[in-house]
Amino acid sequence: MEKAEVEESKSEETIGAIGEEPSTYPSPIQSEEMEATESKEREKLMGEMEQKFEELLRIIREEALQLSEFLIEERRLTHELYALLKPVLKHLNTTFNIPTKAIPLSEKAKQIFLNAEGHLIILDEKNRVSSKALEDCSPEVILNVLWVVIPELSGSIMSYRKRVSFRVSLFDRINRELKNLYKIFVKRPESPEEDEEAQTEKSHEDGVRKSLLSKQ
């Protein structure tokens, strides 16, 4: 009898325990605190994102301003460079062979030249010829052309200097012979003072001549 009562009592406790469910939902106070915390975190995150965004916009404004200034200066310098290079090429009367890889083109080029007028002469695979002023090309193309031209330009100037030096030497020799003839046929010193002046002038000319010849 007592055993049955004990089992009945345990059964009732078990049923009671099963019937009771633990409280898994936060109280209203806890819910408000959680919402307030999440709101603060969102506001903090939004503030940090806004600050970073403003910093990026500031960098873009500064870079854009500097880029604009550099582009204007680049256009000015390339125009000035072309204005200086063109008469030099024309005076030297030299044509430069430009590697086709140095200039990106929409059509494949067989040969590219920079002529004495400062124009790029392009011969394509179909033997069609096109011309474009170097100044009208992009800064990248102008720079690539100059990488080729400048080293060869030094050699052209050296060759031109030698030709001028040769002409100076010939003119000097011819002038000396003509001066001898001039003295014989035309100029006759009338006094020792004039003869002394002539000697002084000759000494000065000889000094200039020696200086020029020493630089050859």
Per-residue pLDDT of the chain (216 residues; tens, 9 = 90+): 444 444 555 455 554 444 444 455 556 666 666 777 777 788 878 888 888 989 999 999 999 999 999 999 999 999 999 999 999 998 888 899 998 887 876 567 888 999 999 999 988 888 888 888 999 888 998 999 999 999 998 888 998 899 999 999 999 999 999 998 888 888 665 555 555 666 666 666 666 566 665 655
Distance CA 139, CA 161 (A): 31
Q: Per the domain annotation, does 80 fall within a domain?
A: yes
Place of tokens 């709101």: 39
Closest CA to 129 of 106, 112, 115, 145: 112
Q: Per the domain annotation, does 126 fall within a domain?
A: yes
- Predicted confidence at residue 2, as pLDDT, reads 45
How many domains does the chain fold into? 1
Q: Is the dihedral of CA 44, 45, 46, 52 positive or negative?
A: positive
- Predicted confidence at residue 43, as pLDDT, reads 81
Distance CA 75, CA 85 (A): 15
The parent domain of residue 155 ranges over 52-161
Q: Per the domain annotation, does 57 fall within a domain?
A: yes
3-state secondary structure of 212: helix
- pTM of this prediction? 0.57
Q: Per the domain annotation, does 201 fall within a domain?
A: no
Q: Per the domain annotation, does 86 fall within a domain?
A: yes
Task: Strands of 33-99 (E only): list them.
Answer: 96-98
Q: Per the domain annotation, does 141 fall within a domain?
A: yes
3-state secondary structure of 94: coil
Q: Per the domain annotation, does 14 fall within a domain?
A: no
Q: Per the domain annotation, does 56 fall within a domain?
A: yes
